[in-house]
Amino acid sequence: MQVKVEGVKQTRKAIRLFAPDLSKALDKELRRVLKPLTAKARGFVPSSAPLSGWAKGEWFPYSASSIKSGIGFSTKPGPTSKYGFTSNARIFNKSVAGAIYEQAHTPQPWVGPSAGGASKGVSRSRNPNAGQQFIEAMPPRIETKRGKGRLIFKAWSQDQSKVSGAAIKAIDTATREFNKRAETTTFTRGAK
């Protein structure tokens, strides 16, 4: 989920180097904006697995508490993507079971338990309909302009305008204050 704002990476770097207090204030404001969205996404995690067998799963067992604790946020700029974009704040899901719950939408092709090989992306279940039954047991994914999902994307779909507006306002406020100081002050590099 991204909102394109140009020049933020350079602005944040300058603020961090020359006005560390503004950098801390910006991070604090971004955390204030992201925290309720993260809490909302955690609130969409069902207390029990959509299919009872998933809770006992061998590979990535369903655990509501681990999925909830895997949903978090960061206000640190991320690496530049191959398309030239950088995230300045993001919400993530570190839990594998949470990522599966968030994104599962197409059953894997069934090959059965006796199929050899180590290829990924296939179902080796004894039940040839397991994949379809798994997807059907899940609630629908919510679609946004940024993607589809059941937890983070659902929270984003409900609050995106409020969150985007507050994040842009926080960045704008820090930039304006930095520029105002630049007009009246000679900057020296702040301590790290």
Residue 150 belongs to some domain of the structure: yes
Q: Are 109 and 152 in contact (CB under 8 A)?
A: no
Question: And the tokens for 96?
Answer: 């594998």
What is the chain's mean pLDDT, rounded? Answer: 84
Residue 189 belongs to some domain of the structure: no
Residue with tokens 């799963």: 57
Tell me the residue range of the domain where 158 lies: 8-112+122-184
Residue 191 belongs to some domain of the structure: no
- Say what the pTM is: 0.78
Residue with tokens 């599966």: 100
Q: Are 151 and 100 in contact (CB under 8 A)?
A: no
Over residues 17-40, the pLDDT tens digits come to 777 888 888 889 889 999 999 999
Residue 62 belongs to some domain of the structure: yes
Residue 56 belongs to some domain of the structure: yes
More confident residue, 33 or 11: 33
Confidence band, pLDDT 50/70/90 cuts, at residue 6: low
Residue 192 belongs to some domain of the structure: no
Residue 60 belongs to some domain of the structure: yes
Over residues 118-152, the pLDDT tens digits come to 778 888 888 899 889 989 999 999 998 878 999 99
The helix (run of H) or strand (run of E) holding residue 144 is strand 142-144
Task: State the total domains in the chain.
Answer: 1
